[in-house]
Amino acid sequence: MSSPHPHASTDVRADRGPGASSAHEGADPQVLAELQSIRGTIDNIDAALVHLLAERFKATQRVGVLKATHGLPAGDPDREAAQIERLRVLAASAQLDPEFAEKFLNFIISEVIRHHVAISEDHRRQSPGAP
Amino acid sequence: MSSPHPHASTDVRADRGPGASSAHEGADPQVLAELQSIRGTIDNIDAALVHLLAERFKATQRVGVLKATHGLPAGDPDREAAQIERLRVLAASAQLDPEFAEKFLNFIISEVIRHHVAISEDHRRQSPGAP
């Protein structure tokens, strides 16, 4: 580990770092070093995504409580259609496949609705007279 | 629109803004104003998510080209297991359901592998003698 470029050494496979695994036995160490570098970027992006998703679910949790308290429906097709259209446009401008952006939002929304239904059921159990 | 608090006015439903849709006919305007405010936050988070996903796919595109060029397999189960374990830990510390974080990463990875297979097939078509 005294090398200034440890990732470029042949030790990289023995280390089993994020850029090297049993899938890459015998591959060029320079290629593995580049793979490891890109994977470091992917891991940083993933950490940011997880933290943003955590904040997003805090926000939708507040929406869920608001809807349950006031007897509003868990899903909202008009809102979802507007969100999908907006994200498709943003995706296109960011060079992300708009189809994937739509699939992604549907994936998130289906989880959110599952949470909203659970919040609504909890609320009904706690306040049987509420709408 | 001359009101200093247009979202709190009863016009909010007629506007069909992001906080008001046909799902909320007859709801309390103050509740709708709060819903609209939280939805603004969700929309900002979604824009950030889309832009991060766009960068993530640029990075995995580079990985895909690298793998195709050097004949490495599109998927890498060891790497995926390490990513999932890491994201579950990050999710727990961010108060995001680790099960959801894992489902989310699997959703992204399945899209990435689909891209990698496509890149690999393109590469084979262009260089029939390559590994």
- Tell me if A18 and B95 make a contact (CB, 8 A cut-off): no
B82 closest CA partner among A100, A8, A23, A29:
A23
Handedness of CA B67, B72, B77, B83 (dihedral sign): negative
Contact B40, B18 (CB under 8 A): yes
Q: Token pair of B63, please?
A: 């990985």
Residues on chain A touching B82 (C-beta within 8 angstroms):
18
Query: For the segment B75-125, what is each residue's pLDDT rounded down to a tens digit?
Result: 889 999 999 999 999 999 999 999 999 999 999 988 988 888 888 888 888
- Tell me if B63 and A100 make a contact (CB, 8 A cut-off): no
pLDDT confidence tier of residue B47, bands split at 50, 70 and 90 = very high
Residues on chain B touching A95 (C-beta within 8 angstroms):
54, 58
Mutate to test the interface with B, among A46, A108, A113 (most CBs of B within 10 A): A46
B112 closest CA partner among B53, B72, B71:
B53
> What integer is the mean pLDDT of B53-67?
95
Residues on chain B touching A92 (C-beta within 8 angstroms):
none
Which of A23, A57, A78 lies nearest to residue B72, judging by beta carbons? Answer: A23
With tokens 């603004």, the residue in question is B40
Q: What distance, in Å, lies between the first and last C-alpha atoms of chain B?
A: 65
Q: How far apart are the CA of A65 and the nearest CA of chain B, in angstroms? A: 10
Query: For the segment A45-103, what is each residue's pLDDT rounded down to a tens digit?
Result: 999 999 999 999 999 999 999 998 998 888 889 999 999 999 999 999 999 999 999 99
Mutate to test the interface with A, among B96, B106, B107, B116 (most CBs of A within 10 A): B96
With tokens 């994201």, the residue in question is B87
- Tell me if A70 and B39 make a contact (CB, 8 A cut-off): no
Longest dimension (CA), chain A: 70
AA identity, residue A79:
R
> What are the Cα distances from residue A45, in Å, to A16, A103, B2, B53?
21, 19, 42, 8
B105 closest CA partner among B91, B84, B89:
B84
pLDDT at A14: 36
pLDDT at residue A20 greater than cutoff 80: no
Query: For the segment B69-86, what is each residue's pLDDT rounded down to a tens digit?
Result: 998 888 889 999 999 999
The whole-model pTM stands at 0.78
Which of B45, B56, B95 lies nearest to residue A52, judging by beta carbons? Answer: B45
Q: How far apart are the CA of B84 and the nearest CA of chain A, in angstroms? A: 10
- Across the A:B interface, residue pairs with CB atoms under 8 Å apart total 164
> DSSP string covering A70-128, please?
TT--S--HHHHHHHHHHHHHHHHHTT--HHHHHHHHHHHHHHHHHHHHHHHHHHHHH-T
AA identity, residue A4:
P
Which of A20-24, A32-36, A101-105, B108-112 is predicted with the least confidence, judged by mean pLDDT? A20-24
3-state secondary structure of B9: coil
Residues on chain B touching A47 (C-beta within 8 angstroms):
90
